[in-house]
Amino acid sequence: MTGTAAAASAAALAGSEVAEAPAAESPVVAPAAEAPVVSAPSPVAETSDAVAAASGSAAQAVAVIQPVKKPAARKKRSLRPARSAPPATAPRVLAIEGLVKKFGENTAVDGISLEVRAGSFFGIVGPNGAGKTTTLSMVTGLLRPDSGSVRIHDIDAWANPQAAKRATGVLPDRLRLFDRLTGAQLLYYSGVLRGLDSRTVRERSADLITAFGLDDAVDRLVADYSAGMTKKIALACAMIHSPRLLVLDEPFESVDPVSAANLTEILERYVAGGGTVVLSSHGMDLIERVCDSAAIIVAGRVLAAGTLDEVRAGQTLEDRFVELAGGRKAAEGMEWLHSFSD
Ligand SMILES: Nc1ncnc2c1ncn2[C@@H]1O[C@H](COP(=O)(O)OP(=O)(O)OP(=O)(O)O)[C@@H](O)[C@H]1O
């Protein structure tokens, strides 16, 4: 997704439980290396090195993916305790009702409803193509819904987009920034565009640059930034007008672990100060670590939403996700991949 600002604070979910059967052919999510708990046994693709045995060829002595023969028993580990969600009495910062978006024959978003209350760190997960970006784009005014409504701090985001955008900071999926500006110029531009006076922008820019560790990069063109640095400057731009709600589409993609910890800390402080974060991510461990509430979206529909514990339902988020998304797929076939062309 793409874009810039918009509105308010956060929340736990309305407690919507599984709404329908898992999509039969949803794509797979590879098991995260560090995924905590796993309770139910589930089939996993196994790797084995040294397949040299078959031919003795050094070229073939590499790891290959073998078909799954039987479900491997998975170790039970304890669940990471969930961060506490805001009370149900907290103001609703984001209310999405019956959102639908079609692209030709393809229904990308098929009636999504969600609620996020002030002070929530809300994670949205789903397989590739599930409709996360499309949903967030409709929330932030970047894509007009076919039907449904989006309210940010009780402002109808599509009837009154300017007011809604004032309350929102946006980190879009496909960053389209004015990258012929330096980082400092881009921050300044973002602040002034938000109506901040020059002095305030300079003060906030200095704070953000330090917080995001961009001191050495601010005078370079954004076009020359690495992917992770670009995410950071874009996130700084999204925050400069101190919005009540931050909508972040895959904020940690391309961000190194140290910088991710830094970003997480900045966001945690923002939430502790009353802000609300809605983010999408494929990092299940990260969502379990930082979010108090979550939604699992598959094929344009919400299959589970609520507090993290409600959504996990006693499993890890990853296992619950895989279960709802239709299970893991065995990596079978493609034997040709092992018959190297040289
Ligand atoms: N501009 C567009 N035109 C046509 N189809 C689109 C467009 N944007 C998204 N889609 C389709 O809508 C569906 C949902 O896409 P979307 O980008 O919202 O998924 P996503 O959950 O964000 O996926 P990912 O995790 O891969 O980023 C997909 O089938 C995609 O091909």
Tell me which residue range forms the domain holding 268: 1-342
Where on the phi/psi map is residue 11: left (φ > 0), alpha (ψ -120 to 50), or beta? left
Predicted local confidence at residue 73, as pLDDT = 53
Burial 4-14 (b: 16+ CB within 10 A, else e): bbbbbbbbbbb
Judge if the beta carbon of residue 132 lies within 6 A of ligand 1. yes
Predicted local confidence at residue 220, as pLDDT = 96
Predicted local confidence at residue 82, as pLDDT = 83
Angle, helices 227-239 vs 198-211, to 10°: value is 140
Q: Among 101, 106, 282, say which to mutate for ligand 1: greatest number of ligand atoms within 8 Å of CB.
A: 106
ipTM: 0.98
Where on the phi/psi map is residue 274: left (φ > 0), alpha (ψ -120 to 50), or beta? left
* Length of the chain as a residue count: 342
How many domains does the chain divide into? 1
- Phi/psi of residue 152, each to 5°? -115, 115
Q: How far is the CA of 294 from the centre of ligand 1 (A)?
A: 20
- Edge to edge, the sheet with strand 92-103 lists 106-117, 92-103, 147-152, 155-156
Predicted local confidence at residue 72, as pLDDT = 53
Euclidean distance between CA atoms 317 and 150, whole angstroms? 27
Predicted local confidence at residue 330, as pLDDT = 65
Q: Which residues of the chain have pLDDT under 70?
A: 1-77, 328-332
Q: Residue 109 sits in a domain of what CATH number?
A: 3.40.50.300
Predicted local confidence at residue 75, as pLDDT = 56
Residue nearest to atom 24 of ligand 1 (CA): 128
Q: Among 102, 134, 297, say which to mutate for ligand 1: greatest number of ligand atoms within 8 Å of CB.
A: 134
CA-nearest of 208, 199, 139, 200 to 168 is: 139
Three-state secondary-structure class, residue 297: strand
Residue reference for tokens 């078959």:
54
